[in-house]
Amino acid sequence: MRISSIFIWAIQLALIVHVLKTGRSRYWIFILIFMPLIGGLAYLLIELLPEFSNSISGQRAVRNVKSAFDPGGEVRRQQAAWEQSPNTDNARRYAEALLEAGDSAKAESIVNQALTGMFAHEPTLLLVRARLQFEQGRMQEALESLEALQEHNPDFRSADGHLLYARVLEATGQMEKALKEYTDVAGYFPGVEARYRRALCLKAAGEQQASTEEMESILKEAKLAPAHFRRSQKTWLDATKRELAAG
């Protein structure tokens, strides 16, 4: 048997072990056995790559790889688009790229340039502004940006924006309002993060028992959820476990 064949089958065996350990559908075992090369590639593309890309560490690794091959490439692309057509969508993308690159000052400058005239209350840009203000610890300013967004765009809906609003309320000491917003957003937010943050807010508000019950409920429901849900929410489920263990 050639070395290349041994290598391929070693990879296939590792993938089969991964299928068994992670509780994925057993049909992958048959695909990996009877279609060794194509099956392995299919498993990587369908099962592993999406999970890796959706995780925080995965997103960071992807960004690092892109940065290694093309440092600042995304910022340059979005800058070119903004300079060619300085509209609100390009402003938002450029500002988000700058935020990812750690240049919050430049990101804020771009947002402020775009938030003028008839676009002075454009909701997606106000949300980017609130996000960068929050990340810089400028909580009162973030609150004002989010309140302006709601006042001028009453029909605008964003799960991320709603969660950010709850976090800003908590950070500014408005615990009762924060808990209400956490409860509301947890009802439709995709994933576990909103419920996890609600539990932390309950704890900070002195409602230890309610916080513990919420975290236990998160983990109990996760056990009944499909395996792909648990994989996609691993960051928040692990954080919930650590918080419960810490008491």
Would you say how long the chain is, in residues? 247
Say if residue 49 is in the same domain as residue 127: no
pLDDT tier at 194, thresholds 50, 70, 90: very high
Would 214 be classed as within a structural domain? Answer: yes
Residue 211 has what pLDDT?
97
| Amino acid identity at 5 | S
29 and 145 co-located in one domain = no
Longest dimension (CA), the chain: 71
- Position 79 scores a pLDDT of 93
- Residues 242, 121 share a domain: yes
Rounded mean pLDDT of 160-171? Answer: 97
Q: How far apart are CA 198 and CA 239, in angstroms?
A: 13
pTM of the model: 0.72
In a domain, 59, yes or no: no
Average pLDDT over residues 232-246: 94
Co-location of 121 and 241 in the same domain: yes
Domain of 194, in residue numbers: 117-246
- pLDDT of 57 above 50: no
Whether 123 and 238 map to the same domain: the answer is yes
- Judged by average pLDDT, the poorest of 44-48, 65-69, 140-144, 159-163 is 65-69
Instruction: Check whether residue 138 and residue 236 sit in a common domain.
Output: yes
Are residue 133 and residue 208 in the same domain, yes or no?
yes
- Specify the CATH number for the domain of residue 196: 1.25.40.10
Whether 135 maps to a domain, the answer reads: yes
Domain boundary among 19, 39, 54: 54
Residue 219 shares a structural domain with residue 139: yes
Same domain for 235 and 133, yes or no, is yes
Is 48 inside a domain boundary?
yes
Number of domains observed in the structure of the chain = 2
User: Is the pLDDT confidence value at 82 over 90?
Assistant: yes
- Structure confidence at residue 67 (pLDDT): 57
pLDDT band at 188 (very low <50, low <70, confident <90, very high): very high
For residue 198, is it within any domain?
yes
pLDDT score recorded for residue 146: 97
181 closest CA partner among 168, 192, 172:
168
Span 78-83, mean pLDDT?
A: 93
Q: Compute the average pLDDT of residues 135-142.
A: 96
247 pLDDT tier (thresholds 50, 70, 90) = confident
Instruction: Kindly state whether residues 50 and 121 are assigned to the same domain.
Output: no
If asked whether residues 139 and 34 sit together in one domain, one would say: no
- Tell me whether residue 68 is in a domain: no
On average, the pLDDT of the chain sits at 87
Helix, strand, coil tally for the chain in percent (to 5): 80, 0, 20
The share of the chain scoring above pLDDT 90, in percent, equals 63
Q: What is the pLDDT of residue 187?
A: 93
What's residue 12's pLDDT? 79
Domain assignment present for 110: no
Q: CA 78, 79, 85, 91 torsion: positive or negative?
A: positive
pLDDT at residue 124 in the model:
94
Tens of pLDDT along 3-43?
A: 667 767 778 788 888 777 766 677 788 788 888 778 887 87
Say yes or no: 37 and 139 in one domain: no
Look at residue 63 in the predicted model and tell me its pLDDT: 54
In a domain, 168, yes or no: yes
Report the range of poorest mean pLDDT among 47-51, 173-177, 190-194: 47-51
Q: Are 108 and 94 in contact (CB under 8 A)?
A: no
Question: For residue range 45-55, what is the model confidence (pLDDT) as tens digits?
Answer: 676 665 554 44
Return the structure tokens found at 220.
């109990």
